Amino acid sequence: MTAETARDFEALEAQAQTLMSVFTKAGYDAVAPAIIQPADVFLDVIGESLRARTYVFTDPDGAELCLRPDLTVPTCRLHLARHADPRTPARYCYNGAAFRFQPQGADAAHPREFRQAGIERFGDAEREVAEVETVAIVISAIERAGLRDWSLRLGDLGLFSSVLDAAGLTPRWKKRFDDAFSRPLAFRDSLKSFAMDARTRPLTVPDSLLASLNRKDRAQSEAAVAGYLDQSAIELIGTRSLADITDHLLDIAEDRDEGPLDASAVALIGSYVDVAGPARTAGIRIGEIMKCARSATALEIYDRRLALLANAGIDLDRVTFAAEFGRTLAYYTGLVFEVRTKVLGSQSPIAGGGRYDGLMRVAGAGVDVPAVGGAIHTERLLAAIRGGAS
């Protein structure tokens, strides 16, 4: 270890103690979830982009495992191990390593092994209060560590869902939009593609295979896919299982039975995702776009959340809203947020999180549980503090 590396390690450890002291004083129990996790839980919920960046391996007993790409899912599993009723209110905090492959190459802002210090809370009945308290504690911890130059970016998957309802989408179309929204860099291209007739799009699999698939007969469908893969000499290598591939092809088959989107639905969704700017005025713009009763509740939640942020001491002049911001982790279901700093720029947020009410069910609870959390990328935080001081 070089002298510089040793100094960085000591600085990160000192910073972690500061962050964790803020969390524990706010009533969060310090936990240390396992680094090695069952791969299937993560691969089911983290989304396509992060799925490809997760380190997956098989142990000598044949179990598929992974190095945790974040600490939210492991904390959910820890909560389930502690409580027979997953809806039991609880608050946890942690500081530990996470692992993600970096396709553009690792650097100081995007290492393959990095540390997250964060909080997760489960079972809160007052949803917006829990969300705002989470954001406020994360920002308080960042400021306590020494960072003053920050901005807060908000998104809302609940509002996006309300837009899809207002557009009158079928359940099939709504699922396709939900899936596409977890890939923000490609979402606008998806919107253009969705406006086309689904049956006219070029496919790389034969029509005969798609026609043979039936969601009600999984065994037969998987057998058909396995036969096609074998005939085409395609091996099951990587993070996709036969069940995953079959699900994907079933989705394609069902998509082909859907007609094109109505032009008014495309226009409504396009107008919504264009909304970006100061959080104070974004709600007004959204209200003008969504003039229907079904959107009223979502807009009331939006306004209530901003009021709570202001009451918590968050300067709303530092808060923006971006309708197309949904984060790349597929398990979020409502509010999402990220904290940015000018020193590192928009591609390297120093913290992020949001609401994920459906994650506990996927982790094994069998029921949805109100849940919200946030995590700080501690290497980035340290870099931002040092950069701002230079």
Tens-digit pLDDT profile for residues 117-138: 999 999 999 999 999 999 999 9
What does the pLDDT read at residue 234? 75
pTM of the model: 0.82
List, for the chain, all residue ranges whose pLDDT scores fall below the cut of 70.
1, 3-4, 46-49, 106-109, 182-185, 196-203, 236-240, 254-260, 292-295, 327-328, 389-390
Among 111, 69, 57, CA closest to 331 = 69
Rounded to an integer, what distance in angstroms lies between the CA atom of residue 114 and that of residue 284?
Answer: 39
What does the pLDDT read at residue 232? 75
- Number of Cβ atoms within 10 Å of the Cβ of 5: 9
What does the pLDDT read at residue 295? 60
Tens-digit pLDDT profile for residues 64-113: 999 999 999 999 999 999 999 999 999 999 999 999 988 777 666 678 89
Rounded to an integer, what distance in angstroms lies between the CA atom of residue 203 and that of residue 194?
Answer: 15
| Strand 113-122 to 36-38 pairing | unpaired
Domain 3-150+341-389 carries which CATH code? 3.30.930.10
| Strand 319-322 to 151-156 pairing | parallel
DSSP 294: G
What does the pLDDT read at residue 203? 56
Domain ranges for the chain, please list them.
Answer: 3-150+341-389, 198-255
Instruction: Say if residues 335 and 354 touch (Cβ distance below 8 Å).
Output: yes
